[in-house]
Structure 1
Amino acid sequence: MNHEQLSGIAHTHHPIKAPLGDESVRHLLDHGLPRGDERVLDLGCGGGEWLLRALDTRPRLRAEGVDVSEDALALARRNACGRGIEERLVLHHCGAEEFSSPHGFDLVLSVGAAHAFGGLLPTLAAAREHLAPGGRVLIGDGFWEREPSPEAVEMLGDFADLATTVDRVVAAGWTPVHGHVSTRAELDAYEWACWGTLASWALDNPADPESRQVLETAGTRRSEWLRVYRDSFGFVSLVLRRTAD
């Protein structure tokens, strides 16, 4: 079973693929979409959950999502049809670097997908290319709450602490207008949901030839979280505006 399939199962009960609770997602969208009639773009939208939630509560909103996964985009289309919002959602099957649009966007989203761009600042540079004047970016990425072990850095990446992370964003020409640091409860709930759901799938499908591998993967990931990075990893979501604007 490939990474995409494993991720799809793991996020069944936590479709926001980041350590954020429903209320935190709602507040971040409220700050990113203050009018309710914006045009929004998600770079690396996956199953489109951020866009679906934004469209659900804002009938004048228009949204577009970009992703390289056909399966994830198909899921987004099915869910949009089920919610009756498919006419206001456009999905593009391509890499973010290939995507172009004749218009800018009032909000550009990229939460938990910075690895696809090579880090936080390259993600912001990509988002800027699609931002309308006066628009906002909603971005989420990791940081180190405490000094990480070498194993944690090797596993998750060379993050900075929270203050340094924000300083780097500001130095790149952005001003935070809202932010949220995921709580311990949100971080733990996300990990339990992912690896518990994966393990449950394996136990519910013992005859599947992939069952043993999936169960072992769930156990490995759970152990890595508990033993390697739980005490050091944090996650911050920022709503940003261009300082020059």
Structure 2
Amino acid sequence: MDRQTISALAHGDHPIAAPLSDASVARLLERALPRAAGRLLDLGCGSGEWLLRALDGRPGLRADGVDLAAASLESARAAAERDGTGDRLTLHHQDATKFTASHAYDLVLSVGAAHAFGGLLPTLRAARGHLAPGGSVLVGDGFWEREPDRATLDAGFAADEFADLATTVDRVVADGWLPVYGHVSTLEEWDDYEWSWTGTLTRWALDHPDDPGHDDALKAANAHREAWLRGYRGTLGFVTLVLRRAADA
């Protein structure tokens, strides 16, 4: 079973692929989209959950999503048709780092996809290339809540992969951005996300004992749970920022 399929199954009960509650997602979108109109771009949109929630209740908003996972895009397309927003959503099956458009966007969103761009600052540089004057970026990425110990590093992280929260924000500001809102995921949000990820995948495997992917799904769920509980729980944080360009940047 490939990683995209495992991820799609694991996010079945928590479609926002980040440690954020529904209330936090709604609040971030309200701050990032103060008007119910404009254009939105999600770089690395997955199943399009951010796009679907943004389009709901904003009839003047049009959105584009970009991702390499064809199955996830099909899921997003089907959900938009069910919601009645399919005519305002355009999905692009391609590498988000190579996406181009003929128009700029009022909001560029990329949450939990910084790895595709090589880190947070490269993600912001990519977003800036799509941003209309006065527009905003909504970006989410990890940071170290505390110095990573050996258990965290053994879970698959590098010590220099992230910085602490203050340093992370300092780097963003030094790059010409100003935070106009932010949210630090709570331990409760993290636990709900991780229990959902591992639990949903485990349940799928138990419910499909004869599926060829049964063993791979259980192995992935067990490995993820071990890395979380014995590795990065309480060490890896997640911050989501609403940013605008500094006037002189």
What letter is aligned with 1:213? D
TM-score by length of 2: 0.96
Of 174, 177, 180, which residue of structure 1 is paired with 2:180? 177
Deviations 1:114-163 (A, max 9, x none): 00000000000000000000000000000000111245246134100000
Deviating runs (4+, > 2 A) in structure 1? 150-154
Aligned to 2:212: 209
1:161 to 2:164 alignment: yes
Aligned to 1:41: 41
Aligned to 1:229: 232
Give the Cα–Cα distance (whole angstroms) in 1 for the partners of residues 65 and 218 of structure 2. 32
Alpha-carbon RMSD: 1.1
What letter is aligned with 1:211? H
Give the Cα–Cα distance (whole angstroms) in 1 for the partners of residues 83 and 157 of structure 2. 35
Q: What pairs up with 1:40-119 in 2 under 5 angstroms?
A: 40-119=40-119
Give the Cα–Cα distance (whole angstroms) in 1 for the partners of residues 126 and 186 of structure 2. 28
Q: CA deviation at 1:220?
A: 1.3
The question of whether the paired residues in 1 share the 8 Å contact of 2:97 and 2:116 is answered with no
Give the Cα–Cα distance (whole angstroms) in 2 for the partners of residues 173 and 216 of structure 1. 43
TM-score by length of 1: 0.97
Partner-residue secondary structure (3-state), 1:71: helix
Partner-residue secondary structure (3-state), 1:231: coil
- Unpaired runs of 5+ residues, structure 1, are none
Aligned to 2:131: 131
Aligned to 1:197: 200
- Unpaired runs of 5+ residues, structure 2, are none
What letter is aligned with 1:156? F
Give the Cα–Cα distance (whole angstroms) in 1 for the partners of residues 216 and 166 of structure 2. 40
The question of whether the paired residues in 1 share the 8 Å contact of 2:187 and 2:234 is answered with no
| Equivalenced residues, count | 245
